[in-house]
Amino acid sequence: MTNPILAPWTTPFGIAPFDAISDGDFAPALEAALAAHRAEIDAIAGNPEPASFANTIEALEAAGRDLDKVLSVFFTVSGADSNPAREALQRAFSPKLAAHQSEISGNKALFARVADLWARRDALDLSAEQARVLMLTHRGFLRAGAALEGDAEARLKAIKARLAVLGTEFTQNLLADERDWHMALAEEDLDGLPEFVIDAAREAGRDRGLNGPAVTLSRSLIVPFLQFSPRRELRARAYAAWVARGANGGKTDNRAIAAEILALRAERAALLGHDSFAAYKLETEMAKDPARVRKLLMAVWEPAKARAEADAEILAGLMQADGVNGPLEPWDWRYYAEKRRRAEHDLDEAALKPYLQLDRMIEAAFACAHRLFGLEFRPLDLPLYHPDCRAWEVTRGGAHVAVFIGDYFARGSKRSGAWCSAMRSQAKFPQVQAPVVINVCNFAKGDPCLLSWDDARTLFHEFGHALHQMLSDVTYESISGTSVARDFVELPSQLYEHWLEVPEVLAEFATHAGTGAPMPRDLLDKVLGAATFDMGFQTVEYVASALVDLAFHEGAAPADPMARQAEVLAELGMPHAITMRHATPHFAHVFSGDGYSSGYYSYMWSEVMDADAFAAFQEAGGAFDPDRARALEEHILSSGGSRDAEELYLAFRGRMPGVEALLKGRGLAAG
C-alpha cells in the first residue's frame, strides 16, 4: 500500500491529504524520502560531466521533493496539533535530519562542484537571480562547515546533531509546562472580570475537564486575567507560573539545556573561524555585526526606560490609592495600566472587544490585501489537520495565486505564540508551483470569538508574512517568499499591522458583535489616541530580551545563563516591575532552534523600516496609494531573497531610514 504522504496528492490545489494521513505514516515516509534525497545528492555529486549551473545548482533545487512533502506535513501538525506520538516522532526525527544535512554539507565531491562554479561565476553568463542563488548556495556550504576536515568536521557534525535534539527538548518541555498548569477559579474569583475573560476561563475549564472556570498559561487568557483581575493574590500566583515556564525543576526544566545550547553554539562558531556565535550569525543579516545591533537597541532602551520609570510612579500611586502597600510588582503592572488607560483615555478593553470580532478582522485583512494588491479570497471546503482550521483560495484577476489556511484558536496541543509557514513555497523551477500558506494563532475561543487589540494586531502581522509568501514571484524556491535575512523578514509583517489602524478600515470592519453597529467615532478616536499607551513597558520588556539574547552570544558562552541574564538586566537598570518578555527558560525564539538566536533584535530592526515604509504611503496618496502598493509588491513582497535586503529596501524607498521614525511611532521621541 502506498504511503499517502509520498503518493501523488490529487487533492484540490495539491494540498496535503490530511484525512488520509495517520501518525504511523510519518516514520516510514521520512526514511523513504531521506533515502531518495540521498540518492539524488549522490547522483549530483558523482555526475561525470563538468559542473554547470543546470547539473549542479538547479539539480540541487529540484532534489528532495518527497522530503519537502513529509516535513511540511509533519512540522505543521507537530507545532499546531501535537500529541505524544508526534512528540516522540519529533525527538526521533531531529537528530536524523541534522545528520542528513551534515551529510550533504560534508559531501566533498558536491562542494567541489559548487566551489568550481563559484570560482568561474563571472564566465557562466548567469541571470541576476541565478547569480544570487549560486552565491547563497556556496555561502551556505561554507557556513555549514563544508571546508572543514578531519576532527573539526566530525566535531561540527556532532554539535549540529546535539543542537537539534536540544532544541526539540526545549520546545517540548515548554509545551508540557504550558499544557500541564492551570489555576482553578471559584465563582467569586470571577468578580471584576469582563465577560470575554469569564467566557475564556469557562472554556479553558471545560477543555481541562474541570467543573468550573480556570486560568491557563495560554497568552490569550493569562494576559487579560492579569489585566483585569482585582484579586492580587491570584494575579501573583498566575504570574509566577507564567514566568516559571521551563524553570520548574524536574524533567521539563530548560535551564541546563539552554546552557549546553549556548556552549555548543560558541564552539560551532569557533570551528568556523568566528570570534563569537553572534558574529557568525549576523554575518548574513542586514545588521552585519553585533555592534550595530547594540547601537540600535541602546538608542531605543534609554528613552523607553525613562518612559517606563515615569509610568511606574503613576501606577504605584494608583495601587497605593487602592490601599495596597509596598512596591509595584510585575503582576500589578497590567492591572493598574488598564485602570490608567480607562481613566486617561476613557478606553475600556472590555468595551472595545465586541468590535474586534475574529471573522470581521479576517475580512479586514483580506479587504486591505484586495485594495492594495487586487487579491480575492474564496472559502474552500477541504479536509485539514484540525476542525478549527479554515481555508481560502486566493486569486487575482481570476488566476489562482495561493491557498491560505487559518488556524486561529488556542488549544492544549498547540505551542504558544503565532506564526506563518508555507506548506509549499512559490517557485517556477523545476515546475510552476503556487504556495500553500498557513497562519497559526492562539486566540481564546468564543461564540463569537472576540479579539483584544493586541490579538487583532497579531492577526494582521501574521497575514503580512502570508502576503510575503503568496505574492512571491521568483524562479527558485530557495529564495522564495520569506527566505530573506532574519532582520528583514519582519518588515512585511510589521508593516501590514499599520493598516489595522487606518480609520476607514476600522470604520468598516470594527462592528459590534451584538448589534452590528460600527465602532462609534469617539471609541475609534480613543483607540487610535491610545495607540502608544504603555509603550515604555512594551519596549522595555522586548529590548531587555533582545539585549540578553545578544549578550548570550557575543562572547564566551555563560556557564550559568540565568546568572548572566541577571547580570545584563542589572547593568541595564531593569525597572523592578517589568520582566523580560521571554526569560531564558522559555525563550523559544532563541533556544528551540537557531532561527532567532542572536536575532531577537530583528523585530526592532525591521520596525525601523516599517515605520519609514508606511510613512512613504502617508507622504503619497494615503494608506492605499496604488503607486506605493505597486512598489511594495515589486521591490519587496514579490522579490523574496532574490536580491540583498538593503538593495530591496533602497529600491522601494530610495534611502535607508534612521531610528527617528521608530521612536516617533512608539511615542518615545523627545519633545
pLDDT in tens, 62-105: 999 999 999 999 999 999 999 999 999 999 999 999 999 999 99
Alpha-carbon dihedral sign for residues 53, 57, 63, 65: negative
What lies within 8 Å, CB to CB, of 663 at 6+ separation is: 300, 303, 669
- In this prediction, residue 559 carries a pLDDT of 96
- In this prediction, residue 597 carries a pLDDT of 95
Active-site residue, from 58, 153, 393, 462: 462
Separation CA 376–CA 398 (nearest Å): 9
Separation CA 373–CA 624 (nearest Å): 10
- In this prediction, residue 484 carries a pLDDT of 97
Residue 128 burial class via C-beta count within 10 angstroms: exposed 0-12, middle 13-18, buried 19 and up:
exposed
- In this prediction, residue 231 carries a pLDDT of 97
| Residue 502 pLDDT greater than 60, yes or no | yes
Q: What is the dihedral of CA 619, 621, 625, 628, to 10 degrees?
A: -40
- In this prediction, residue 367 carries a pLDDT of 98
Residue 639 CA: distances (Å) to CA of 77, 129, 361, 651: 29, 10, 27, 11
| Residue 600 pLDDT greater than 70, yes or no | yes
pLDDT tens digit sequence for 459-470: 999 999 999 999
pLDDT tens digit sequence for 16-48: 999 999 999 999 999 999 999 999 999 999 999
| Residue 612 pLDDT greater than 60, yes or no | yes
| Residue 641 pLDDT greater than 70, yes or no | yes
Under 8 Å between Cβ of 344 and 439: no
| CA-wise closest residue to 246 among 559, 640, 623, 590 | 590
What lies within 8 Å, CB to CB, of 595 at 6+ separation is: 486, 589
Q: Is 501 a catalytic residue?
A: no
Distance of CA 387 to the CA centre of its chain: 23
| Residue 416 pLDDT greater than 90, yes or no | no
Ranges 79-83, 247-251, 379-383, 413-417: which has the least confidence: 413-417
* Residue 428, C-alpha cell as written in the block: 517556477
Separation CA 581–CA 592 (nearest Å): 16
pLDDT band for 671, please (50, 70, 90 cuts).
Answer: low
The predicted model gives 171-181 an average pLDDT of 94
Ranges 372-376, 528-532, 602-606: which has the least confidence: 528-532
pLDDT tens digit sequence for 516-564: 999 999 998 888 888 899 999 999 999 999 999 999 999 899 999 999 9
Q: Biggest alpha carbon distance in the chain? A: 83
Alpha-carbon dihedral sign for residues 173, 175, 176, 177: positive
pLDDT band for 615, please (50, 70, 90 cuts).
Answer: very high
Residues pairing with 404 in the sheet: 392, 437
The predicted model gives 260-266 an average pLDDT of 98
The predicted model gives 446-457 an average pLDDT of 92
Residue 46 CA: distances (Å) to CA of 43, 52, 107, 142, 145: 5, 13, 10, 20, 20
Better-scored residue on pLDDT, 438 or 351: 438
| Residue 424 pLDDT greater than 80, yes or no | yes
| Residue 253 pLDDT greater than 80, yes or no | yes
pLDDT tens digit sequence for 195-250: 999 999 999 999 999 999 999 999 889 999 999 999 999 999 999 999 999 999 99
Task: Indicate the SS3 state at residue 452.
Answer: coil
pLDDT band for 584, please (50, 70, 90 cuts).
Answer: very high
Size of the chain, expressed as the number of residues it contains: 671
The predicted model gives 357-384 an average pLDDT of 98
Separation CA 157–CA 177 (nearest Å): 31
Domains plus CATH for the chain?
12-175 (1.10.1370.40), 183-230 (no CATH), 252-347+535-600 (1.10.1370.10), 354-498 (3.40.390.10)
What lies within 8 Å, CB to CB, of 247 at 6+ separation is: 253, 254, 255, 562, 583, 585, 586
What lies within 8 Å, CB to CB, of 653 at 6+ separation is: 612, 613, 616
Separation CA 235–CA 238 (nearest Å): 5
Task: Indicate the SS3 state at residue 58.
Answer: helix
Q: Which amino acid does the sequence have at 403?
A: V
What lies within 8 Å, CB to CB, of 335 at 6+ separation is: 226, 227, 228, 229, 230, 232, 235
Under 8 Å between Cβ of 97 and 31: no
pLDDT band for 348, please (50, 70, 90 cuts).
Answer: confident
In percent, the amount of the chain with pLDDT more than 70 equals: 100
Separation CA 342–CA 323 (nearest Å): 19
What mean pLDDT is reported for the chain? 96
| Residue 1 pLDDT greater than 80, yes or no | no
The predicted model gives 379-401 an average pLDDT of 97
* Residue 612, C-alpha cell as written in the block: 519609514
